[in-house]
Copies of this chain bind each other. A is one copy, B any other.
Amino acid sequence: MDFLSLALDNLGAPMVLCFLLGLGAALARADLSIPEQAARMMSIYLLFAIGMKGGVEVARVGFGPEILMALVTGVALSILLPLVAFSVLRVTTGLSAIDAAAAAGHYGSISIVTFVAGTQALENMGLAYSGYMVAVAAAMEAPAIIAALWLAARGGAHTKPAPMREILLNGSIVLLCGAVVVGWIAGPPGFESVKGLFAEPFKGVLCLFLLDMGLLAGRHLRSAATDISRTVIAFGIYMPLIGAAIGGAAGWLIGLTPGDLALLITLSASASYIAAPAALRVALPKANPAIYLTLSLGLTFPFNLTFGIPIYVALAETLAG
């Protein structure tokens, strides 16, 4: 499938259309909103469903060395990418060390919804991927946050002692890892019994959740013009491509299949908006949250969902195809 039709298919998928509907509604200041607790519940549902599905796959294929290899690579990327992002931000923008460190941490960590959107694109194309990639996603959440704290401390910021406990016990990390374990133990027959909630309605819930993400992204985008400079805005678009290139090289080195490579690239390109801001707001109070949230939610997430994912899939096919 050529890249253009890939990109068009992606834009015409219900989930991307829902995101664009939300984005448009927010930019037009329409009075549309998803109730907060419903949005949080959808987020919990998606995390749990994707985690459980991954765990079931691990149960099916067994825990082998290639899983371990992928996990180690993921952790390494999660530590490395913030260093790259930090250097780029310090060179190309006027951000202070602490703001740059905080933003950089978000780019090492991951967005699980971007990951899910990647799996949907692969499924639509009939390209296989391994269920254990969700464990790689889980493993990439936290190391980047610690890297960001180290960068900020080195940059002279007065950081609070690294709250390792809080970082690792963040709800989204606990839920994702817990769901993987539940899926692993319950196995395929256990999953069979709950497919009516965790498999069949999955794509529909993803649509409604992306409607909400579109509304949120639109609100952040509206304030982007006033809150952050042009060089920072540009970073929100090209940094995912840098992350994709680095992630692609790493995944190619360990010999991932095209599908798995596409997902590792997507994870590398994605920026966190749950675990990373939650931890960094407390640990780096002097960092301006408007910068990192606008970057990850207002710029990088929309870019990845619409144009990024087709690019990453095409890149993976070129590298490993």
Q: Which residue numbers of A lie inside 8 Å of B, CB to CB?
A: 12-14, 17-18, 21, 24-25, 28-38, 40-41, 44-45, 48, 52, 166, 169-171, 174-175, 178-179, 181-182, 185-186, 190-191, 193-205, 207-208, 211, 278
Contact = CB atoms under 8 A, between A and B. Distances in A.
A194 B207 contact: yes
12 contacts: A14-B193, A17-B185, A17-B186, A17-B190, A21-B178, A28-B169, A30-B169, A30-B174, A32-B171, A194-B204, A197-B201, A197-B205
Number of copies: 3
Top 3 closest pairs, chain A to chain B, by CB: A197-B204, A196-B200, A35-B37
Contacts of A48: 208, 211
A258 B34 CA distance: 36
Contacts of A52: 14
A190 B182 CA distance: 31
Contact of A208 (B32, B45, B178): B45
A186 B40 contact: no
**Highest count of chain B CB atoms <10 Å: which of A28, A32, A52:** A32
Contacts of A32: 169, 171, 174-175
Nearest to A43: B35
A121 to B, nearest CB: 12
